[in-house]
């Protein structure tokens, strides 16, 4: 299912992006 793969990939990429932004914005938490 290409649509499912696209949604899964987008959610994973968004999660990694948010994690990196949080790590850079609040380095004391990590």
pLDDT, one tens digit per residue, over 1-30 is 799 999 999 999 999 999 999 888 887 765
How far is it, in rounded angstroms, from Cα 17 to Cα 24? Answer: 11
- φ, ψ of residue 6 in degrees (nearest 5): -65, -45
Tokens, residue 9: 């990939």
- Those residues with Cβ within 8 angstroms of residue 29's Cβ, 6 or more apart along the chain or in another chain: 22, 23
pLDDT at 5: 95
Residue keyed to tokens 């949604």:
7
pTM for the complete prediction? Answer: 0.59
């Amino acid at each position: 299912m290409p649509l499912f793969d696209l949604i899964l990939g987008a959610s994973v990429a968004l999660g990694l992006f948010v994690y990196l932004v949080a790590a850079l914005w609040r380095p004391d938490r990590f």
